Amino acid sequence: MEIISKPMLTIEQKKQAASIKQLKDSIDSGTLNLSEAVQLIEMTKKQKEKLVSEIYFKNRRGKDFYTCKDGRFKSYNPQFIANTRAELIDKLYAYYFDNTLEDVYKQWVTHRSETKIVSGKTIEEDISIWKRFLADSEISKMQIAEIKPKHLMKLFQIWTGNGFITRKDFNNRKSVLNGIFRYAVLNEIITYNPITSIPCNDLKYKLPSTKKKAYTIKERATLLSYLQTLEPDAYILAIMLAFYGIFRIGEIKALSWDNKDENMVVIRQQLIEERTVQADLTLSQPHRVLKDPKGNPSYSIRTEYLPAEGVTVLKKMKALNPNGKFLFMHKGRPLTTDTFNRRLRKYCNEAGIIYLSSHKIRFTGASMLYNAGVKPIDIQPLLGHSTLAMTEHYIGQRVDDNDTSQMARILA
């Protein structure tokens, strides 16, 4: 793909652009009467055309834009097409002056939030990456069309250094940039994505740490024994239930009471906390949302069977909350994942074992089943995974005990 070389702007041209921005701000302020607004709009239009002409038509020997057979207008280097000459001038002006990387980032976030093409959680994670690693970078204030592979490689080298971060961490950051540039290309803000020209394999990455991904059977038994000494409430019982199955925490939070078959649990939905993007691109306070279980509903809506200890937990919770909308409710309100993990950390510390997040309980249960001789193909539907490859990421963790019979009874 041809890489367009953007012309260097003079100080005077940048001053003219700043003047046009002031005029635009005056128009957008809403303090002008109709006559004044019309006058400023016409003035802005003329100044934009003059400025674009100085830049675009330089060294073109007076040639105007190309007129297509269908009547549209087309520019070259950079290449844009518009229905009218005025629209093409606006596109070129935006290309030269209006779109910093930060500007386009905001457009990208707003677009994804309005169209809901990705989950709220994904947008929240991307906003966090922008704030931590890109907002204060040199390129954030650059016009996106001025950003070249060399600028990105400089940033990438700062990130990675001599092995500062893992490849996974790097890819998470790069994916945000890639999303912004792809959005800019699709919306004709730029003509190509400069990330595609960068040899990222030349960078040095930190080797991923061998993080502990599961509780050992001894740790599991220690924690469950400790929890049984406490006065039960919804969070204590929910933590216990998590260790007697391989549920997602959002699935436990969304359970309702059904005693048709006491040891059978039907997973139909999950209850999650979502934050939405507001007009100023800040995130709202979390609000609870009921959704299908995570992943493909054809696989994630499923049935699991509990051992006797798990059934006992459900009965205790029903006695504590006989009429709740959801089975697991604390003081009349649904559980939250943050509080679940905060409580789990507290009880792990009190029981003298290493804390792992709620999600690692699923690794624990799946690995115990695998170590007990259950085939991965039979564990897959219990986890609600659509692919066996995903299940293989969960199983085979070190659980350090031969007594897996209790967990294996889930399949009985």
In a domain, 278, yes or no: no
Cis, peptide link before residue 381, omega less than 30° from 0: no
Q: Please state the domain count of the chain.
A: 3
Per-residue pLDDT of the chain (412 residues; tens, 9 = 90+): 344 455 566 667 767 777 767 777 676 766 777 777 777 778 888 888 888 888 888 766 657 888 999 999 998 877 889 999 889 988 888 777 778 899 999 999 999 999 988 888 899 999 999 999 999 999 998 889 889 999 999 999 999 999 999 999 999 999 999 999 999 999 888 888 999 999 998 899 998 777 788 999 999 999 999 999 999 999 999 999 999 999 999 999 999 987 777 788 999 999 988 888 887 878 888 888 898 898 888 999 999 999 999 999 999 999 999 999 999 999 999 999 999 999 999 999 999 999 999 999 999 999 999 998 999 999 999 999 999 999 998 887 777 655 444 444 444 4
238 and 387 housed in the same domain: yes
Distance separating alpha carbons of residues 302 and 382, to the nearest angstrom:
7
Phi/psi at 164 (5° precision) = -75, -35
Distance separating alpha carbons of residues 322 and 325, to the nearest angstrom:
9
The CATH number of whichever domain residue 339 belongs to comes to 1.10.443.10
Distance separating alpha carbons of residues 273 and 288, to the nearest angstrom:
5
| Pick from 162, 109, 159, 122: nearest CA to 138 | 159
112 and 138 housed in the same domain: yes
Range of the domain at 94: 11-98
In a domain, 4, yes or no: no
At which of 39, 68, 98 does a domain end?
A: 98
Measured distance between the N- and C-terminal CA atoms of the chain, rounded to whole angstroms: 59
- Distances from the Cα of 79 to the Cα of 63, 66, 212, 251, angstroms: 15, 11, 52, 50
> pTM of the predicted model, to two decimals?
0.67
* Secondary structure (H, E, C), 329-372: EECCEECCHHHHHHHHHHHHHHHCCCCCCCHHHHHHHHHHHHHC
């205790």: which residue's tokens?
316
pLDDT at res. 380: 94
| Pick from 154, 158, 128, 119: nearest CA to 274 | 119
Please report the beta strands in 139-252, taking only residues with DSSP state E, as ranges in sequence order: 162-166, 204-206
| Pick from 256, 270, 190, 235: nearest CA to 341 | 235
406 and 385 housed in the same domain: yes
